[in-house]
Amino acid sequence: MADSLEDLGGYSIFPVEPNWLHKPSMNLELARILMKYTGTAAKLSSFTDHVPEAWKLGFTPSKEDEHDLIVFFIARYGKHGGFWIKIPAREFTLYSNSLSGSTEIRVENNGAEQQYQGYERIWIDMHSNDILTRKVLTTTKEDDYLSLGLSVSLDRDVTPSTHFKICRLLFCRFDEDMLKMSFGQNQYPDITLAVRELVREYPA
């Protein structure tokens, strides 16, 4: 089969997958501020309900992937242009088989329903090396699992024997205007990229 890329809004996916040579790291942006003046009470004020994530991800691309990465970066540096990036950390663990035609994936409950905002996407890494992308329309907590309602039905079975992992797909921009590449003893560069989630710019 082939990749099943849905709900991307016409935006591209970053062409190289992050690796674990350098552990991916994430920080949440400051969303609240402590307001305090002499002689008054202190107040914790929130200035956004949508807190963006800032990720640092490592890459060790082949020469072909290195070229694609540089071309992609040049087209979008200067904090211009959004794109999708596949977060490599496993976010969900499959609870039961999801068959072709289903618009629901049942996963182990990880509390995701408490943070659901309505724009979240997931990507599924299949054993065939294909990937599936879907928008999550609903998150419903059941007795012992979490049901993810999908915008587009699955075009193949997702079972423990057919997929590696289910992860999040974030809509981001580059957070730095310089691409730093370090070369060691082998032919592959060591690259770390900082990206920032565009929480208010997710495609519908």
Structure tokens given for 168 = 């999040």
118 in any annotated domain: yes
Q: How high is the mean pLDDT of the chain?
A: 91
Tens-digit pLDDT profile for residues 90-144: 999 999 999 999 999 999 999 999 989 999 999 999 999 999 999 999 999 998 9
203 in any annotated domain: no
Q: Is 120 exposed, middle or buried (0-12, 13-18, 19+ CB in 10 A)?
A: buried
Angle at 106 between CA 105 and CA 107, to 5 degrees: 115
Structure tokens given for 46 = 């929130």
Q: Where are the alpha helices (DSSP H) in 122-166?
A: none
pLDDT of 37 strictly over 80: no
175 in any annotated domain: yes
50 in any annotated domain: no
User: How many residues in the chain?
Assistant: 204
Tens-digit pLDDT profile for residues 54-88: 999 999 999 899 999 999 999 998 888 899 999 99
44 in any annotated domain: no
30 in any annotated domain: no
pLDDT of 30 strictly over 70: no
52 in any annotated domain: no
What is the residue range of 82's domain? 4-24+57-197
| Structural domain count of the chain | 1
What is the structure's pLDDT at 191?
93
46 in any annotated domain: no
Strands 131-141 and 163-174: unpaired
Q: Where is 54: in which H helix or E strand?
A: strand 53-59
Residue 56: DSSP 8-state = E
- Global pTM? 0.87
Asked whether 11 and 85 are in contact (CB, 8 A), the reply is no
Within 72-204, strands assigned E span 83-86, 104-107, 121-126, 131-141, 146-150, 163-174, 181-183, 189-197
Of 203, 188, 201, which is closest to residue 80 (Cα–Cα)?
Answer: 201
Residue 130: DSSP 8-state = -
Asked whether 104 and 96 are in contact (CB, 8 A), the reply is no
Contacts of residue 23, Cβ cutoff 8 Å, sequence gap at least 6: 58
Of 112, 117, 100, which is closest to residue 198 (Cα–Cα)?
Answer: 117
Task: Please report the sign of the dihedral spanned by the C-alpha atoms of residue 193, residue 197, residue 203, residue 204.
Answer: positive
